[in-house]
Chains A and B, each alone.
Chain A
Amino acid sequence: MIKVENLTKQFGAKRAVDDVSFSVERGEVLGFLGPNGAGKSTTMRMITGFISPTAGAVSIGGFNMAENPIPAKKLIGYLPENAPAYTDMTVHGFLNFAAEVRGLRGDAKRQAVRRAVELCFLEVVLHQSVDTLSKGYRHRTCFAQSIIHDPDILILDEPTDGLDPNQKHEIRQLIRKMGEKKAIIFSTHILEEVDAVCSRAMIIDRGRVVANGTPLELRRKSKWAGAVTLRVNGMEAGAVQAQLKQIRSAQSVMTETSGARVTATVFPRPAGDGDLTREILAATGGWQVEELRTEEGRLDEVFRSITLPDTAAKEVKA
């Protein structure tokens, strides 16, 4: 549905988006991750046709955005960053306007507005002016605008920004539900959202795609992936460390003491083919092990290691 080829955007001397290519099909929810200013919003603005790319092409449902913008835009629902809305209108008036621009009239319009209002829980503020709304409601009003015509493609720029935890939960569920039938791209810098919503995640840094895969695949890139953490009661940290280091598949051991408990993390050897968990169990016979778990890998650590190579390199030098 969405096809992005070699997309590049140059702002003066700065290359905001650098040769980005990817595609999103129906039934996929693609999460855009990246530090602030990485080029997430610029990429989305080019996909939705708000700004034109310096090079490269965007194709929406087979329509080229540069050559055939109107049919391409008809397929898209877009929630821009900061959720702008006409402040001088009521929520109802604004949604009616959005429906009319999308070519809906009469009964179809009324139904579309009612559906969007229900999905976004806007009944209570329906006849309130947009500039009197709280940030959460304003956000949902703009979100309602983006789904008013039940589009095949949704582009959402930080859809949960500024919402309280309950609202975040509602919006995430909504995105996940709609993701079954639509192609969705949404940007975020909240990593837990990636797990909660995305079927695929892409990390962008300084305009380039630096990682692309399912959340699980991304997590496996973490050095934590496959490590085993155990919590032991009534032992010295030094003794735990010494014992665990003996294990054949263990590369290194990290311990941390809190009260009478020691938490130890055993990292496996990179090419280790042994079963780390079984070896640990064998080595710790007679210990008071309270908890033992295998780490799936940590997204935040992957995110940091991929997006901050400069800082990491400096730390190594120092």
Chain B
Amino acid sequence: MNSLGNIKTISKRELSAYFTSPVAYVFIVIFLLLNGFFTFMVGGFFERGEASLANSFFMWHPWFYLFLVPAVGMRLWADERRVGTLELLLTMPIAPWEAIVGKFIASWIFLGLALVLTFPVVITVNYLGSPDNGVILSAYVGSWLMAGAYLAVSCITSAITRSQVVSFILAVVACLFLILAGFPPVINLLQNLSHHWQWLVDTITSLSVITHFQGFQKGVLDSRDVIFFLSVIGFSLFTTSVILRTHRTS
């Protein structure tokens, strides 16, 4: 109960911090512009003639998030350390994990908000045809979970350094790995390199966000995919707490 109150207080502060700086507005505008451009111009939404958002809209999300989510997550801990507020935060009567979860939830809610603001595309596809809205909803849930996984990885890189730029670059590289592990050209390359080690290829592929996001795009809410994203989040937040503890004991 008390933990919940602390997490709420931290989240509230963090979320309000997004909207008092221009970061939030810049992020949302860029996210929506990219979505619009890629869905209608590159993805060929109208030319496809499909009453679906999978191939025109959601397929770009792993790539948008690659740059946008680290930009949201880079300041989470790096800035606290640079400004020195980390010292305030960690000497207040809250457990470090409450602060970590609170900050993560605030950013995740923010990403969810940006995602919700893409609703005109849902209206458009419903106006033009009769899509399966269950599939669309499932893809939205998957997209949000994927954003959460990227964000948690960005939390780690943000805790490592006090420079936001370094945090951003490290997070992009780490997230790129999460994408490429399931990217068809890379899978082919891995299979050519190691015919005998199919299990290795399978292991690497199973780490990919793309593989796990595909189910959601088809409208399949597979518990394994949900667990995958949640465990990436859980593992990353745990790693963040270990890193923060190391800073305090070294």
Contact status of A78 and B91, CB under 8 A, knowing A84-B84, A88-B20:
yes
A86 B93 Cβ-Cβ under 8 A: no
Q: B20, A89: Cβ atoms under 8 Å?
A: yes
- Which A residues are in CB contact (< 8 Å) with B92? 73, 98, 101-102
- B94 interface residue, CB < 8 Å from A? yes
User: CB of A52 within 8 A of chain B?
Assistant: yes
B198 interface hit (Cβ, 8 Å): no
Q: A97-B9, A100-B9 are in contact. Are A86 and B17 (CB under 8 A)?
A: yes
| Residue B161, interface by CB 8 Å | no
Q: Which of A52, A80, A87 sits near B88, CB closer than 8 Å? A: A80
Chain A interface size, under 10 / 10 to 19 / 20 to 34 / 35 or more: 20 to 34
Which residues on A sit within 8 Å (CB–CB) of B84?
80-82, 84
Main SS of chain B's interface residues? helix
Residues of chain B at interface, number, CB under 8 A: 25
Also in contact, A50 and B90, with CB within 8 A (given A80-B84, A86-B85, A88-B21): yes
A286-B94 Cα distance, complex, nearest whole Å: 73
Q: Out of A73, A89, A129, which one reaches B91, CB within 8 Å?
A: A73
Is B116 an interface position by the 8 A CB rule? no
CB <8 Å contact, B94 and A101: yes
Cβ of A76 under 8 Å from chain B: yes
Closest to A82 in B: B84
Residues of A within 8 A of B6 (CB): 101
B10, B16, B94, B95: the one within 8 Å of A93 (CB)? B16
**A204 interfacial contact with B, CB 8 Å:** no
A129 / chain B contacts, CB cutoff of 8 Å: 20
**Does B249 touch A at the CB level, under 8 Å?**
yes
Give, as a whole number of angstroms, the nearest-CB distance from A201 to chain B: 24
The winner among A11, A86, A89, A129 for most chain B CB atoms within 10 A is A86
A84 touches B91 (CB 8 A): no
29 A-B contacts (beta carbon < 8 Å): A11-B250, A45-B87, A49-B91, A50-B87, A50-B91, A50-B248, A52-B248, A69-B95, A71-B93, A73-B92, A74-B93, A76-B91, A78-B87, A78-B88, A80-B84, A80-B91, A82-B84, A84-B85, A84-B87, A84-B88, A87-B83, A88-B21, A93-B16, A101-B9, A101-B93, A101-B94, A103-B5, A103-B93, A142-B88
17 additional A-B residue pairs with CB within 8 Å, beyond A48-B91, A78-B88, A84-B84: A49-B90, A49-B91, A50-B87, A50-B248, A51-B248, A52-B248, A70-B94, A73-B91, A80-B84, A81-B84, A84-B85, A84-B88, A86-B17, A86-B85, A89-B17, A101-B10, A129-B20
